[in-house]
Amino acid sequence: EVQLVESGGGLVQPGGSLRLSCAASGFTFSSYEMNWVRQAPGKGLEWVSYISSSGSTIYYADSVKGRFTISRDNAKNSLYLQMNSLRAEDTAVYYCATGGEMATNWGQGTLVTVSS
Amino acid sequence: EIVLTQSPATLSLSPGERATLSCRASQSVSSYLAWYQQKPGQAPRLLIYDASNRATGIPARFSGSGSGTDFTLTISSLEPEDFAVYYCQQRSNWQWTFGQGTKVEIK
């Protein structure tokens, strides 16, 4: 069974940093494209970033470009999102999700709150 | 960026009724459109991909249709567990965009 478990969320001040992790199991992680998607409280879904299976291709939404960095460690079956220069509008539940064309599997999400 | 517009924003129906949800793209996405269901406090779940293919384990009462710019998700007969928010999604130029969602609520 595919399982994705996010961690690393929490309360951070504006301008601060946070690193999210997504632990994958139940499938061959190194063969799968991965994404981060976020959802602000009471709002819709927003794609954040994509990384290819090897990590060689990466894309970001304009809203996070230059501030967030996606990476993966295939030996550890893990996906990461380094978030710097955080803003109040980055407050959201962050989900990791498998897939290139669409999100086939989702984690349960981790809440990031940016507030002073 | 391709914008997806879903309608209606809210659909009030009774169990057993048919639900028809619309998703319109600002430019053609061919058949590269997916639908998701999200219940409160839960992650979204993939229902339909490539406009009309049901994902693994999705009941046959869910069906998708359309191509180009106009797409429809149909739930043939609503079950109590189907009351949720539904999102459409497309990928172009390696960017995913989502519609704003349609809430299917109990009438």
User: Within a 10 A sphere around the Cβ of A31, how many other Cβ atoms?
Assistant: 10
B43, B89, B101 ranked by CB distance to A106: nearest: B43
Judged against a pLDDT cut of 90, whether residue A65 lies above it is answered with yes
Give the residue among A69, A84, A70, A82 at the shortest CA–CA distance from A16: A84
Q: Is A100 an 8 Å CB contact of chain B? A: yes
**Cis amide leading into B40 (omega within 30):** no
- Paired residues of A34 in beta bridges: A51, A98
Nearest-Cα distance to chain A for B18, in Å, is: 24
Tell me the per-residue pLDDT of B11-36, one tens digit each, with 9 for 90 and over. 999 999 999 999 999 999 999 999 99
**pLDDT of B52:** 97
Query: CATH number for the domain including B50?
Result: 2.60.40.10
A46, A100, A102 ranked by CB distance to B46: nearest: A102
Q: Is B14 an 8 Å CB contact of chain A? A: no
- Domain range holding B83? 4-106
Tell me the per-residue pLDDT of B55-94, one tens digit each, with 9 for 90 and over. 999 999 999 999 999 999 999 999 999 999 999 999 987 8
What is the number of domains present in chain B?
1
**pLDDT of B93:** 79
**pLDDT of B73:** 98
Buried b (16+ CB within 10 A) or exposed e, A91-101: bbbbbbbbbbe
| Residue spans of alpha helices (H) in A20-85 | none
| Residues in Cβ contact with B32 at an 8 Å cutoff, skipping those fewer than 6 apart | A101, B50, B51, B90, B91, B92
Q: Is A47 an 8 Å CB contact of chain B? A: yes
